[in-house]
Amino acid sequence: MGVKTAKMVLQTESEAIASLVDRIGPEFEKAERIILDAKGRIIITGLGKSGIIGRKIASTFSSIGIPAFYLHPVEGAHGDIGTIMRGDAAIVISKSGATDELNVILNHLKRLEIPIIAMTGNTSSNLASIADVALDVSVEKEACPYDIVPTASTTAVLALGDALAISLFEEKKLTKEDFAALHPGGSIGLKLTYRVKDLMVSGDDLPLIDIEASMHEVIDIMSEKKLGIAVVAENDKLAGVITDGDLRRLLQRLENPLEINAGEALKSSARENTLRTLPLTIKPEAYAARAVSIMEKHIVTTLVVTNPKGLPVGLIRWIDLSQAGMV
């Protein structure tokens, strides 16, 4: 019974969101323009479940550089209404469009000539009539068996708020750097702040060896740098890598593995039934999050960092990313 009900709820709410698609048009664009033209903040208000959704929308707006805050309509009527200033714009959320507690704020907004965007399930309501633009978030039914508990309706408002936010995000042409500046803490900030060059092993710590170097030299540099890998270069360009696993395969396959050079080791240490190819690489300026993605996709723990000329300049390892809080 529980699984059946859960599927019904998800189906009802997904249909509520899907029904909004055909309503995106001139009214939506007008709402966007009101927000973009606002010289102050975006005040978002609503009561009950609408208020909870309003808080989330305000938070999302702020996260993309649109100053926004939630104003509780009752608190507003008891003094907080003073936070509203000329130049602001407002989003008022109400399923019925006839929430009495909103009247004080609505009157104040009109008195200050603040443009109002209504998000309502009743486009014939008083709220819709006095708003500068009314966005229709009506749903066919709620997900509860008595069509009472706000479920599908609040989901629809939340989805439309997200649609508005992301559309504004693109309209403002925000870059990843802009977004990172607004999220200096937490995983979002880390993923959009750290570059590969910030976390990579480089300089004297890089186990770089020439392709003509002997295997004694290869082992020496691997032991000295303690990274379990040697980066092999030919004419300064990346030729491959030799890992601890490659050394084990050479010991199993060759009678005198220490008598060959690094280039010969690259040819002789490929995994069974595979061709030796150049290792995966990444640029120093790439976001560290990109390194995480490549490693997860190819199930590797190390990437060689190469500059635009193809010269190996570093190594970025899973452990470096982990210690930086990226994974």
| Residue percentage of the chain with pLDDT more than 70 | 93
Q: Give the residue from 158, 173, 188 where a domain finishes.
A: 173
Write out pLDDT tens, residues 210-223. Answer: 999 999 999 999 99
Residue 184 located in a structural domain = no
Which has the closest alpha carbon to 14: 123, 140, 103?
Answer: 140
Both 73 and 213 in one domain: the answer is no
**Distance between CA 182 and CA 110 in Å, rounded?**
32
Confidence (pLDDT) at 80: 81
Looking at the structure of the chain, the number of domains it has is 2
Element (H, E) at 241: strand 237-243
Which has the closest alpha carbon to 107: 124, 90, 87, 94?
Answer: 90
Both 150 and 14 in one domain: the answer is yes
Both 9 and 95 in one domain: the answer is yes
CATH code where residue 253 lies: 3.10.580.10
Both 104 and 240 in one domain: the answer is no
Both 151 and 246 in one domain: the answer is no
Both 10 and 86 in one domain: the answer is yes
**Distance between CA 162 and CA 53 in Å, rounded?**
11
**Distance between CA 152 and CA 139 in Å, rounded?**
7
Domain extent for 147: 2-173
**Distance between CA 151 and CA 307 in Å, rounded?**
52
Both 161 and 124 in one domain: the answer is yes
Per DSSP, helices labelled H in 144-214 are 152-171, 176-182, 186-193, 196-199
Long-range contacts formed by 23-28: CB under 8 A, 24+ apart: 23/135, 23/136, 24/163, 27/133, 27/134, 27/135, 27/136, 28/135, 28/163, 28/164, 28/167
Residue 97 located in a structural domain = yes
**Distance between CA 150 and CA 39 in Å, rounded?**
33
CATH code where residue 99 lies: 3.40.50.10490
User: pTM for the whole thing?
Assistant: 0.63
Residue 315 located in a structural domain = yes
Both 150 and 211 in one domain: the answer is no
Confidence (pLDDT) at 65: 85
Residue 181 located in a structural domain = no
Both 53 and 151 in one domain: the answer is yes
Residue 302 located in a structural domain = yes
Both 142 and 6 in one domain: the answer is yes
Q: Give the residue from 173, 206, 233 where a domain finishes.
A: 173
Both 23 and 149 in one domain: the answer is yes
Residue 191 located in a structural domain = no
Residue 47 located in a structural domain = yes
CB 60 within 8 A of CB 106: no
Residue 188 located in a structural domain = no
**Distance between CA 272 and CA 269 in Å, rounded?**
9
Averaged pLDDT, 129-135: 97
Structure-block tokens of residue 29: 């664009």
Per DSSP, helices labelled H in the chain are 2-18, 26-37, 49-63, 73-77, 103-111, 126-130, 152-171, 176-182, 186-193, 196-199, 215-225, 244-253, 262-268, 288-298, 318-323
- Of 89-93, 167-171, 192-196, 256-260, give the lowest mean pLDDT range: 192-196
Write out pLDDT tens, residues 264-310. Answer: 999 888 877 667 788 999 999 998 888 988 999 999 999 999 999 98
Both 43 and 167 in one domain: the answer is yes
DSSP, res 254: -
